[in-house]
Structure 1
Amino acid sequence: MDTNSVIYLVIGLTALVLAIIVAALIVKAARKKGGRPEATGASTPSQAVPPDVSSEAASDETGAGSAVESAESVGSVASQSGSSQAASPESASPQAAASAAPQLQTPESSTSRLIRLRARLSHSANPFGKALFTILSKNHLTDSDWEDVEDTLLLADVGADASSRLVEQLKSDVRVQGETEANAVRDMLKARLLTIVDAGMDRRLYAELPENELPDARKPSVIIMVGVNGTGKTTTAGKLARFFVAEGKSVMMAAADTFRAAAADQLETWGNRVGVKVVRSDKDGADPASVAFEAAHTAQEQQRDVLIVDTAGRLQNKANLMQELGKIRRVIEKTAKVDEVLLVLDATTGQNGMAQAKVFAEAIGITGIVLTKLDGSARGGIVISVQRELGVPVKLVGLGEGPDDLTIFDPATFVDGILALN
């Protein structure tokens, strides 16, 4: 082999080695680049979140608090719920999923709230019972003492006729039994108060009746809330919804107070806290009866247990009130029977609220009374006088501003509370 051939051979071998080295470097670099997703967790194109899902999640994070207030009807609320469920768990981040599913509150049970409210009633109504007990525990009651008893009853909003009757009954009891011992007098007073409060009245809400007492299996049980603005009517409707949710019932509410723009928003805020849908109009000043009709139809279609209808409390005159409330009831009963018409009264107004109560009673025919604000400056005797004036029972009482400060009225608990001396 000559010199030139050797040179060519060396050059060829060198080029081959260089080519092999370059190829190895390229393969190594390619492998390193291809393995990077597993090391860092970056998304591949096939794993990317669709633009509509990511934007929806962002919208949920920024607008979850106001979603309910902007809903115009059950249909719009349902469509929002359906769109939020369209995103699969795999495509949405845990943070977005958490923000899209707001935490619902758990209302207090009826048993628990009755115990708590009994203690509060005892505290607020204590002066009434204590004053009576102090007078009646004297060894010898004079005419002046009996006048003091009657004055105490009047100051407690028992009412003139009821106060006079109760005093005469107590006089007879003391004279016949000849008792002056404190506990005996207290027992006599308790018995008379239970009689005058009328413990035998049926105070149960239709929606709470056991199935064997229901005339049929129809749904929903419709409750219309009436009362002047300022009594806590809309708030009470929201609290009543919580009460039924705590009892395991499915509830819907209707914002038929279309004259007050804030009423529907307020009702939706209450409903949003416990997952209760609200039917409302998409414009202020709409026909309240049409809202009530839509709600009744939707509640029946969805087989809700209870429908609570909030109505307006500020109208120009009695004729307008009767016309509107009567129309609401008529259109509802084209679809579902109205079981309850609850009149919401502010207990602190005392006897001054009786005239208003009578107007509503005449306008629509009430089945029960809800006394709000029975704590504070309210006097327990209003329970007695309002029942005697309207001839219907107090069914619910509110004893505070908390969301669960509403409970079924129990006469024995009420009397025990106002006679508690400790």
Structure 2
Amino acid sequence: MAVGAVSRNPEGGPASQQAMRRQNLAVVLGTIAGQSPLSGLSRADVAGLTGLTRAAVSSLVDELIGRGALTEAETAPSGRVGRPGRALAVSDSGPAGLGLEVGVTHLGACVVDLRGEARVWRRVERANAGRPAGEVLAEVAALGAEAQAEADGLGLRVEGRVLAVPGVVPSAQPGLVEHAPNLGWHAVRPADHWPDPETVPEPENEANLGALAEYWQGGHGAETFVHVSAEAGIGAALIVDGQLFRGARGFAGELGHIPVHPDGLPCSCGSRGCLEQYAGEAAVLREAGLVGEGDPVALLAGRAGAGDRAALRALERAGRALGLALASAVNLVDPDGLVLGGAYAELADWLLPAVRAELAARVTVRPWPSEALRPSLLGRRGALLGAALVTTRQLIADPTRLPAA
């Protein structure tokens, strides 16, 4: 809605003054957050960019400073006659989001400030498949408590928590991880196992969070794209016009179970020939003849970089299968682009040629430039970063969530 327009409630009457002020707070904070930290916007600059009056902007800025969202730095030169304004910036202390992650082979925690900068980052290797959910959740809760304590020391105040999980989180049942097959979880509610009821995070699918992080911080500018990532399984998420598409029940994105060879290998889901059996981490490592301790993605990349024929053959096979599945996604959805995230981003040098070849051969009813497929710059950081960013993006969209001073 244009700045200054009158919004309406569902009954058709004018929105309340509180609603209009909430909207204008979001406009001002979003305008400042969207600028470079070095831009040095003054209150007058913000008024010019938003169309709000200087008096209104001054009042809104004062409230945002009081809520800890903004700071005013030393005088900023403007080139205009008269007293120069003071430079406004999104605070690097105060409100923050805590992201948590349970992966098949690791746990993670990070804290992101309102500027979108990760100020605390922790990742520990853990073999979580088959372990009791309560045990795993207690460990990630402890890791989160350590991260929050470190954030407290930096002057950050955690205002929300989100947990990334490699499983289905149905839209109709918030707080429930219905199925996480690679962990062995079924109908798990993190709140039932969390040691502190005051710090229970909201669970969300890790592929969705990776796609959101890509949209917010990937720097590519696409509004509609498919983001595909891999760990033990393969997850995908679709961003449509800047919004996450969840499907009717929250099950969208199961790219790993698209059949690429209908009579192929049996899959753990009960079907046959699923993409996961040809381009999933375990499948690629098996094909490459690699079994060992440590980071399997780094091991595979190292072997491929050294010219190991088995590793190169396994990645080429995975790329063909992935390209076959993604061609179907392109033909169905017509996205602006495709993004390889997670482990795929780190293996992109060897995956991309085969994926692009399949796309070129199979996407024939619409233009498809090869550069529309690209690796994510966030790599395996995406899901955890997205978990923390959910909170900060919500706070920027509605600053009244922040406690007033």
Higher helix share: 1
Higher strand share: 2
TM over 0.5: no
TM-score range, shorter chain: under 0.3
Larger RCO: 1 or 2 (CA < 8 Å, sep 6+):
1
TM value normalised by structure 2: 0.24
Which structure would you say has the larger Rg?
1
